[in-house]
Amino acid sequence: MTKQILSGYQIRSGSTLDRALLVKFMRLTYQDMFPQQDFSHLVQTVEQYLSPQTPLWWVDFIGETGNNTNRKEYSSISLSSPVGCLWIGNAVDQVSGNRHAHIFLVYVAPQHRRRGIGTALMEHAQNWARERGDRQIGLQVFPANTAALNLYHHLGYQTQSLWMIKSLHIED
């Protein structure tokens, strides 16, 4: 399935064969927030959770249409590799017990941000969840990721719970 989501961009279904590319996009996502961190463990995450029940979509840049965009702006961007990604899984609402969609990953390459791709991906996720009968959709976001927080709030997402952690120092 391939369809245009915005002028110059199309979305297509991924598959479980896209494991290496998904790991690459996950690394890019986390490196935005934690540039010095080693993310080699993400291979295990993808191996464990990527399946036919956790759909994956890619956004491809197909070129600007219908306007006078300067092509030099895109000279460093490969037209053959995706510029965005959406990966969705399943979760269970711990209060109601209902299954719902959970967004594992939304990523847009920096050169393509602020063009509506993130919004289009979120709308795609919401439509997919509605079509399968879900009554809600969830995600996790880092508090320091203000751009993502602003997008999610703008789209009507609300904080339902806070994920809290405490580092445990193991004494020798």
In 10 A of CB 139, how many CB atoms?
A: 17
Quick one: DSSP state of residue 154?
A: H
Give the DSSP per-residue string, 15-81.
Answer: -GGGHHHHHHHHHHHHHHH-TT---TTHHHHHHHH-STTS-EEEEEE----SS---GGGGTTS-TTS
Closest C-alpha to 84, from 53, 102, 62: 62
Q: What's the pLDDT score for residue 172?
A: 65
Q: What's the pLDDT score for residue 97?
A: 92
Q: What's the pLDDT score for residue 7?
A: 94
Selected residue with higher pLDDT from 160 and 13: 13
Q: Average the pLDDT over 6-16 and give the result.
A: 95
Question: Does position 10 have pLDDT exceeding 60, yes or no?
Answer: yes
Whole-prediction pTM: 0.85
Mean pLDDT (the chain) is 89
Q: Which CATH architecture best describes the domain 2-154?
A: 3-Layer(aba) Sandwich (3.40)
pLDDT in tens, 33-50: 999 999 999 999 999 999
Q: Average the pLDDT over 18-32 and give the result.
A: 96
Cα→Cα distances 136→91, 97, 111, 158, Å: 10, 12, 31, 11
pLDDT in tens, 49-105: 999 999 999 999 998 654 434 444 443 444 568 999 999 999 998 889 999 999 999
Cross-strand pairs, 107: 85
What are the sequence ranges of the domains in the chain?
2-154
Question: Does position 3 have pLDDT exceeding 50, yes or no?
Answer: yes
